[in-house]
Amino acid sequence: MFKYASHPGLKAHADNLPVHVAIIMDGNGRWAKRQNLSRTKGHIQGVQTVREVIGACQEKNISVLTLFAFGVENWKRPTKEVRNLFRLFFLVLRKDIAKLHENSIKLKIIGDRTVLHKALVSAINEAEDLTRHNTGLQLNIAVNYSGRWDLLNGIQKLMKDPMSKKDINEDAISQVLSLAGLPEPDLFIRTGGVQRISNFMLWELAYTELYFTNTLWPDFNKSAFELALNDYASRERRFGLTAEQLG
């Protein structure tokens, strides 16, 4: 289960660890098929990996973790699988929120809630309210989310404000997106062997280091996460500068 360490807050790491990690958790269904299990069993196993990665982030003093749980395109999956996914999300949210709160983890669910079941929306609101003032790991979970939706939704907000129309710039857009106020991801991880970002955090990933692994999400344990962090630590991030400018 959960075992979390203390947390230093939002600041850069002297040992070259990312402040914000974003992950597409891919491969639950394929993992289940290899085990001759149902796809739902794969998603259940994937929840155990989520818990392990959360704990690893706490141990490494990583400040923000954003997980892509369900994208708008995932509605195209078989109805039974979608129903089971949301049922699992609801049950895990109810089961784990007390432990998250106990460990001072702040939970935020991002995505379009307008089509979600009222009971799930209520559970989300309660979980966010409970953890709102926590000062540990910032855990963001994307549910019924897409990067294009986030951008469109944010720009529509700006257009409704007559004052903001006069000065729509990058900073203004950043302030109306789902993760406004948080540092952009330093490291993006996608498991399962697919090498694309699949409509995830399109604005925020502009300068993020990308890491792809063939490991399926249920097998992405603490050691696999360490490999991703070590790969990130070996990179030189220039943000458009030359090596000479960086010194």
**What pLDDT is stored for residue 8 in this prediction?**
36
Q: In the 3-class helix/strand/coil scheme, how is the chain assigned residue by residue?
A: CCCCCCCCCCCCCCCCCCCEEEEECCCHHHHHHHCCCCHHHHHHHHHHHHHHHHHHHHHCCCCEEEEEEEEHHHHHCCHHHHHHHHHHHHHHHHHHHHHHHHCCCEEEEECCCCCCCHHHHHHHHHHHHHHCCCCCCEEEEEEEECHHHHHHHHHHHHHHCCCHHHHCCHHHHHCCCCCCCCCCCCEEEECCCCCCCCCCCCCCCCCCEEEECCCCHHHCCHHHHHHHHHHHHCCCCCCCCCHHHHC
**What pLDDT is stored for residue 159 in this prediction?**
87
Report whether pLDDT(6) > 50.
Answer: no
pLDDT tens sequence across 23-57:
999 999 999 999 999 999 999 999 999 999 999 99
Sorting pLDDT into bands at 50, 70 and 90, what band is 240?
Answer: low
Whether 26 is catalytic: yes
Report whether pLDDT(160) > 50.
Answer: yes
Residues sharing a CB contact under 8 Å with residue 120, sequence separation 6 or more, in sequence order: 86, 89, 90, 93
Segments making up each domain of the chain, as ranges: 20-233
* pLDDT averaged over every residue in the chain: 91
Query: Looking at 16, 36, 61, 74, which residue is catalytic?
Result: 74
**What pLDDT is stored for residue 9 in this prediction?**
38
- C-alpha–C-alpha distance, residues 3 and 52, integer Å: 9
Query: Looking at 26, 96, 150, 186, which residue is catalytic?
Result: 26
The mean per-residue pLDDT over the stretch 14-22 comes to 88
* % of the chain exceeding 70 in pLDDT: 88
Whole-angstrom CA distances from 127 to 21, 120, 234 are 22, 11, 37
Could you tell me which of 49, 181, 59 has the C-alpha nearest to residue 108?
181
CATH number assigned to the domain with residue range 20-233, chosen from the 4 options 3.40.50.360, 3.40.1180.10, 2.60.120.10, 1.10.150.300 = 3.40.1180.10
